[in-house]
Amino acid sequence: MSALVLAACDSDNNNAAGDVPIIGVSSVQVLHGSPDAPPVNVSISNRQVLSNVDFKQGSGRLRYAEGTYNVSVDGIVLGATANVINENVAFPPEAIITIAAVNTAAAIQPIVISQPDTPVTAGNARLFVLHGSAAAPQVDVYVTPPGADLTASAPVGSFAFGETLGPREVPADTYQIRVTLAGNAGAVVYDSGDVDLADGSDLVVAALPNIAGGPSPITLVALTGSGSIELRDVNTPTGLRVGHLSPDTGPVDILVNGNEYLTDVPFSAVTEIRALPADTYAVTITAANNPGAIAFGPANLTLDAATWYSVLATDFNANLSVQILDQDDPRPIALFAKVRIYHASPTAQNVDIYVNAPGTDINTVDPTLSNIPFLANTGYLGLPGDDYEVVVTLTGSKAPAIGPAPITIEDGGVYTVIARDPLPGEAEFGLIVLDDSLVEVP
């Protein structure tokens, strides 16, 4: 496996303070580290300098003259903004200032850390590490040659939430970063795998909550000077959901790498999202109990870590196809629900979709989404948690083809809603409402 390369890029030529003279300059960078908070806009002294910064994203370095500045962070909530942080922060001269918004959305707080803005010694890399995960306990951090025995190694240090280690220089080389419970070298809770620390790298690294599944409670995000890069735990899984959405196809068996994964799956059945090791898998769909009647595959599907996939058998049997929905935005937001709608009804033409309060007469409102074609994925939409009715009509019509179908969604939930053909023996089209949470399989 190739090593992840971390190198610093000098971005200090961006003077975010406009015409402020470059005298006694501070370099300022911002990190979104709140796992369930929405994307944010950041303003410094009433001037917006960053927009739509999402969780685990960090900025490049912005240059300011020394002084005290007001730093304001506004969460983006369903098309509006709400101020969540408003602090006066001192920017000392010749310093790198990192402002991290951490903790949950309900308890979001700024952590401001500072280090001297001095050159890194030739041949070295420099690390300044922040414990930014409120839910994680005190831990020890090891930066060692790959494969080193931790029981024979000394940790860089031990720290708890809000504390820092460093800044410290190490020779530029390939390392393995591991985090253990404090005082217990055998209790590894994070493993970076091989990481190349390039000559001259000047990195601020934050331990943040891991929301991508797997055994590690944390992930690492490195601010490089021009942006950020995530260093996931090597055991971060992928996620796989499979579904049978072909209305005239009988029950099927699904094989992964030649082994039975699910058997006798009927039309309209869709599984939960199951955690699997990230890898390339050979997926085959056959008629139930008839391995020679192959409907699809074997096809090699590369499933990446921290990305969750829905593999869906769709369309009528004569045109059977497998559609793959990448779910690269599974993060729950505490302040609203995220819902996407997938049109999987081959009988229906292009459709309009209405999502409204119960009892709404759709003749009095415009569709929420218009002219959605077969196999279209709307992407995630933000909605307040509440009770709704979903109505699907042919485009331009007010006659319901589906619904009104009641659904209940909650703030912090992530959902997929699938429009399907009628079940065998029935005349009504229907909806499948799915919870897009990862299920860890023992």
Phi, psi of 251, deg, nearest 5 = -55, 150
| 129 and 211 fall within a common domain | yes
Alpha-carbon 349 to chain mean position: 33
pLDDT at 106: 97
Is pLDDT of 164 > 90?
yes
> Do 355 and 222 have their domain in common?
no
Q: What is the pLDDT of residue 293?
A: 92
Q: Is residue 326 over pLDDT 90?
A: no
If asked whether residues 20 and 113 sit together in one domain, one would say yes
Cβ-contact 63, 96 below 8 angstroms: no
Peptide bond into 404 cis (omega under 30): yes
Same domain, 38 and 182: yes
Nearest CA to 105 out of 89, 86, 88, 85 is that of: 85
Q: What is the pLDDT of residues 195-233, one digit of tens each?
A: 999 999 999 999 999 999 999 999 999 999 999 999 999
Domain extent, residue 199, equals: 4-231
Q: Are the C-beta atoms of residues 349 and 421 closer than 8 Å to each other?
A: no
State the total domains in the chain: 3
C-alpha to C-alpha distance for 308 and 275, rounded to whole angstroms: 8
Which pLDDT belongs to residue 8? 56
pLDDT for residue 13 is more than 60: no
Is the confidence at residue 270, as pLDDT, over 80? yes
Q: Give me the half-sphere count of Cα atoms (radius 13 Å) on the Cβ side of residue 137.
A: 9
Whether the bond between 167 and the residue before it is cis, its omega within 30 degrees of 0, is: yes
pLDDT tier at 12 (50, 70, 90 boundaries)?
A: very low
Are residues 418 and 288 both part of a single domain?
A: no
378 touches 418 (CB < 8 A):
no
The reply to whether 171 and 202 lie within a common domain is yes
Contact by Cβ (8 Å): 90, 68: yes
Assigned token pair, 32 = 């979104």
Q: Is the pLDDT of residue 31 over 60?
A: yes
Calculate mean pLDDT across residues 252-272. Answer: 95
The Cα–Cα gap between 72 and 48 comes to 9
Indicate the residue type of 388. Y
Same domain assignment for residues 324 and 364: no
- CA 200 to chain centroid, in Å, comes to 30
Question: Is the model more confident about 362 or about 5?
Answer: 362
Among the three residues 310, 328, 346, which one is the final residue of a domain in this structure? Answer: 328
- Give the residues across from 127 on adjacent strands: 168, 203
Same domain, 323 and 404: no
> Per this entry, what is the length of the chain?
442
CATH of the domain at 361: 2.60.40
Are 329 and 323 a contacting pair, CB within 8 Å?
A: no
Does pTM top 0.85 for this prediction?
yes
Domain boundary among 328, 351, 379: 328
Gap between the Cα atoms of 43 and 40, Å rounded: 10
pLDDT tens per residue across span 33-43 = 999 999 999 99
Region 317-339: mean pLDDT is: 90
Say which residue, 442 or 236, is predicted with more confidence.
236
Same domain for 203 and 64: yes
3 state SS of 115: strand
**Are 277 and 398 in a shared domain?**
no
Tell me what pLDDT residue 440 has: 86
pLDDT of residue 10 exceeding 70:
no
List the beta bridge partners of residue 402.
Answer: 392
Tell the burial category of 177 from Cβ atoms under 10 Å away from its Cβ (0-12, 13-18, 19+).
Answer: buried
Shared domain for 188 and 262, answered yes or no, is no
Q: Give the domain-ending residue among 177, 200, 231.
A: 231
Residues 157 and 266 in one domain: no
Confidence of residue 11 (pLDDT cuts 50, 70, 90): very low
DSSP 362-380: GGGS--SEEEEPTT-B---
